Structure 1
Amino acid sequence: MECIATFDTTHMALFFEKSCRSLGLKVKIIPVPREISSSCGLACSYPCEDEERVRTVAAEKGIEVFEYHRL
């Protein structure tokens, strides 16, 4: 299972990726999957087992995540 975080802005997606990677988390920028949204934009995928750590990083850094998804 893959987990995805979506964002309202490109800046937030890039900040999220950089912040998570700096802590050794396996996060990568991807296009928003069509099953989530038909709009073009960026999302970040990460292993679902890291979800708690990922959410903690986002909260601590003030990163505005639009939604979290499990695919």
Structure 2
Amino acid sequence: MRKKELKIVISFHTTAEAIAMEAECLKDEIPGRLIPVPRQISAGCGLAWSMPVTWEGDVDQWMKEKKLRWDSLGVYEI
């Protein structure tokens, strides 16, 4: 059984937005991965980006700089 850890989960309206997030994170070596949207969250495309809360950057600001789009209510800590 996987140990439950607090994560940042970012949801997206479209699959293209989720894949763009994954591509930019890989380029900048930001930890995380695409996951199915957890049941506690609803999102249009069914994909979300999960990353550790211990990441030292400001994910909102980084996403704005990269011109990435996400669900307006879509940054959660779960």
Superposition TM-score tier, normalisation by shorter sequence: 0.7 to 0.9
Name the CA shift for 1:33/1:22 in 2 (closer, same or farther; >3 Å): same
Name the CA shift for 1:29/1:51 in 2 (closer, same or farther; >3 Å): farther
Structure having the higher helix fraction is 1
Q: Name the SS for the 1:33 alignment partner.
A: coil
- Where does the alignment leave 5 or more consecutive residues of structure 1 unmatched? none
How does the TM-score come out when normalised to structure 1?
Answer: 0.84
Matched, 1:33 2:38: yes
How does the TM-score come out when normalised to structure 2?
Answer: 0.78
Identical counterparts, % of pairs: 32
- Where does the alignment leave 5 or more consecutive residues of structure 2 unmatched? 1-5
Q: Which position in structure 1 is the counterpart of 2:24?
A: 19
Matched, 1:56 2:61: yes
Question: How many equivalent residue pairs?
Answer: 71
Amino acid corresponding to residue 49 of structure 1 in structure 2: T
Larger of the two Rg values belongs to structure: 2
Matched, 1:69 2:76: yes
